[in-house]
Structure 1
């Protein structure tokens, strides 16, 4: 059975190290804590929770779009050939864990979980599980709130883990001693503002605009719950006692608010109702929310049109839009994941892990056919390589690059050294002359015969 390395000899390893110190200070958890905006806010249902914030549509869409798009890019083990070309290969040491990272997740779910942890928490911790040979056979994405990076006095990095049955961490091991070295953890992190081992997620930068829009939506919900009737002031005649005012207020709240809002009220004694709350259109709610939505997209590198905000740029084609989204929102995460897997699995050249971008940048059928035709016609690909793009079987003779016969080397064209192709010399010129004389005699005979026939006709 596969087991975690270093855990069995962990006690001895730690005794040789000096004290371990947690890193990151108070910032590591500071951004996650959303305090009450005022005393007693939780009693009035006015507190803000990170879980509620993630349900805001634009923020949810940014996180889901990036994580799901990277999740659908398959891992490929590539090998550098002597010709300098990378080609897909397989290995008994690396291919199984790339195809099935652990027992409860597919490769797609593993990549999505990796990215969700990074985008929401700022850090992704992946625990390696090895077999008796020391080969990594499982990869587990850990809960970042249950992992604490630590640094020894000698400068070595360790990670303190809390027990987790899902990831097979031993429950009977003391929590304060369950420490593994950096060699057993793949640590991906966002921008490290305060410490090289602590990443700050884009969610931290998108917090305030998302919170503002959440409050606008909550206010709008309360407004329309009241049948779109704003609050106001009941004013009575001068000299009204406080007891009469309280009775009037209770009467109004009972009969003309909530589900009874909009009913006709008939009250004497010169009582008037004056609205004081602005309607949503007066507060320019749509413009405010659109501006905040664009601010939410900025930390993620997300083009707003990808989450339904604004209009699609008219100057860019569909391929250009996909390239813009890939370069701004996905490429840094993809490059980090590839490099970390190479390092974490100890994959050295000529091998390397690559995420296949074909599912992401897949073109329509007509565009794919046009590109394949140009690549084959230009000598970049063989016909069989072009057919493989459409899942077509190879053909006999299709592994050769074909070029047109009139194409010449550029060097010959520049130096004007193209050899003239001349007709081969006739091996027997006398025979050709004899054939020409015979042909001419035949033509003369035919001409004389025509003249004789014409004279006979005249007689």
Structure 2
């Protein structure tokens, strides 16, 4: 009784007896299918797990460097800034950057919000980011208009101001708290969970999920116990195919349709597409290959669609949150964080070669910048920009003077032609084309 009271008090301190999250914590959100839908139960669906894992892990593996503007429209990586190491390498003493961002974006996808405590050191510099589970955080609007974040963990409540929390919001109607895809889609997810439960029951009961054994007369309690122990020998998927022997006038009547008639498999496949809509993921990207392919040119277009319509909103929101919460107003004019999506857009070797050639010949990138993308060392003279010189405005044709090298080549060819004419190697008056 003491342990139960302690647990109840801990929950009450963190959530409050009138908090909607308390009801969700105790019983989960109700659904039309009668299934209790919470983040934990929803993750038992392979489609929910795959969508959350795909988006969070993809973003976590993208490099997140800190850049500095030079005042002339150019920017460079700023590894000397203390925030660079926190964002790019080690957000805290226990996590790598990939682990931290994966956890933060997974919370945002499942709960609609991702929270991280901002730990500051000397000169108000950010020295660490510590993630906080959204189901343990309560947001309160104070009288003065500021936001207060109360984080409850292991019976202790920590009160943080809005400047001490990096808050990544999902789709929101008020701009203060993001909406959870699990809570908003509880009816769709509940239906999918009900289909999974029905499929499991079919296999558990040996592909004949329900039926009636008809006895010739009323049974005594001992006879019912013996009948139950006898029927259990033929239940379960491993006992499918066994033929029971019914004695004394017993009869079995099936009350269910076979799985192929009930189209259970088609229903489960449709549920995968429904779950993907809630997370903005193409079904083919989580292994649902019924109507699409991930080979050939479709792969590049699929990656572009994924980046444009799924990842871009997450990346941009995180970059702006980092700028406003982790940089001072003065630093915001010079520094900014930006995810590097070059790896997602990398095509095959032939496509990359054509892209690099176009960038170099049109003075968009230097050869050493291209080599850096391929993790190759720089070469002498490779830091200059090059431009094709053969293209001229149409009104300048015939007016451009030849270069010294071109004039020297023309003179040499003319002298050679004159010498050959003098020695009668070619008829008089002929020219040597080049």
Aligned residue for 1:369, secondary structure, equals helix
CA distance in 2, matches of 1:361, 1:31: 40
Q: Which has the higher helix share?
A: 2
Q: Does 1:88 align with 2:77?
A: yes
CA distance in 2, matches of 1:360, 1:423: 44
Q: Which residue of 2 aligns with 1:186?
A: 166
CA distance in 2, matches of 1:95, 1:254: 63
Per-residue CA deviation, residues 311-366 of structure 1 (Å, 9 max, x unaligned), is 13789543221110111221111111111111111241221111111233333333
TM-score, with length taken from structure 1: 0.74
Relative to structure 1, the CA distance from residue 30 to residue 324 in structure 2 (aligned partners, 3 Å threshold; closer, same or farther) is: farther
Q: Does the CA contact (< 8 Å) of 1:236 and 1:272 recur in 2? A: yes
Q: Does 1:76 align with 2:54?
A: no
Q: Which residue of 2 aligns with 1:8?
A: none
TM-score, with length taken from structure 2: 0.78
CA distance in 2, matches of 1:36, 1:338: 32
Q: Does 1:273 align with 2:262?
A: no
Q: Which residue of 1 aligns with 2:387?
A: 403
Q: Which residue of 2 aligns with 1:457?
A: none
Relative to structure 1, the CA distance from residue 36 to residue 279 in structure 2 (aligned partners, 3 Å threshold; closer, same or farther) is: farther
Moved more, 57-66 or 71-80: 71-80
Structure 2 residue aligned with 1:63, among 29, 48, 52? Answer: 52
Cα offset for 1:28? 5.1
Per-residue CA deviation, residues 251-307 of structure 1 (Å, 9 max, x unaligned), is 752554446564333445554322111221111112111211111111211111111
- Tell me, which stretches of 5 or more residues in structure 1 are unaligned? 1-21, 166-170, 426-435, 444-459
Alignment of 1:123-142 (within 5 A): 123-142=113-132
Tell me how many residue pairs correspond in the alignment.
385
CA distance in 2, matches of 1:315, 1:364: 10
Q: Which residue of 1 aligns with 2:410?
A: none
CA distance in 2, matches of 1:83, 1:143: 42
Q: Which residue of 1 aligns with 2:299?
A: 318
Per-residue CA deviation, residues 9-33 of structure 1 (Å, 9 max, x unaligned), is xxxxxxxxxxxxx99x745555555
Cα offset for 1:211? 2.6
CA distance in 1, matches of 2:274, 2:182: 11
Cα offset for 1:87? 2.3
- Aligned CA-pair RMSD: 3.4
Q: Does the CA contact (< 8 Å) of 1:126 and 1:185 recur in 2? A: yes
Q: Does the CA contact (< 8 Å) of 1:35 and 1:47 recur in 2? A: yes
CA distance in 2, matches of 1:152, 1:36: 28
Alignment of 1:330-341 (within 5 A): 330-341=311-322
Aligned residue for 2:336, secondary structure, equals strand
Structure 2 residue aligned with 1:198, among 169, 177, 184? Answer: 177
Relative to structure 1, the CA distance from residue 126 to residue 402 in structure 2 (aligned partners, 3 Å threshold; closer, same or farther) is: same
Q: Which residue of 1 aligns with 2:373?
A: 389
Q: Does the CA contact (< 8 Å) of 1:66 and 1:330 recur in 2? A: yes
CA distance in 2, matches of 1:296, 1:324: 18
Relative to structure 1, the CA distance from residue 151 to residue 416 in structure 2 (aligned partners, 3 Å threshold; closer, same or farther) is: same
Q: Does the CA contact (< 8 Å) of 1:74 and 1:107 recur in 2? A: no
Cα offset for 1:82? 3.7
Which structure is larger by alpha-carbon Rg, 1 or 2?
A: 1
Per-residue CA deviation, residues 42-65 of structure 1 (Å, 9 max, x unaligned), is xxxx86664232121111000000
Q: Which residue of 1 aligns with 2:309?
A: 328
Q: Does the CA contact (< 8 Å) of 1:373 and 1:386 recur in 2? A: no
Structure 2 residue aligned with 1:106, among 90, 96, 103? Answer: 96
Q: Does the CA contact (< 8 Å) of 2:169 and 2:178 recur in 1? A: yes
Q: Does the CA contact (< 8 Å) of 1:123 and 1:198 recur in 2? A: yes
- Tell me, which stretches of 5 or more residues in structure 2 are unaligned? 1-14, 408-417, 425-434
Aligned residue for 2:122, secondary structure, equals coil
Structure 2 residue aligned with 1:370, among 345, 354, 359? Answer: 354
Relative to structure 1, the CA distance from residue 246 to residue 354 in structure 2 (aligned partners, 3 Å threshold; closer, same or farther) is: same
Relative to structure 1, the CA distance from residue 35 to residue 110 in structure 2 (aligned partners, 3 Å threshold; closer, same or farther) is: closer
Aligned residue for 2:314, secondary structure, equals helix
Aligned residue for 2:131, secondary structure, equals strand
Q: Which residue of 2 aligns with 1:19?
A: none
Q: Does the CA contact (< 8 Å) of 1:70 and 1:330 recur in 2? A: yes
Per-residue CA deviation, residues 353-386 of structure 1 (Å, 9 max, x unaligned), is 1111123333333322221122212332222222
Q: Which residue of 2 aligns with 1:53?
A: 42
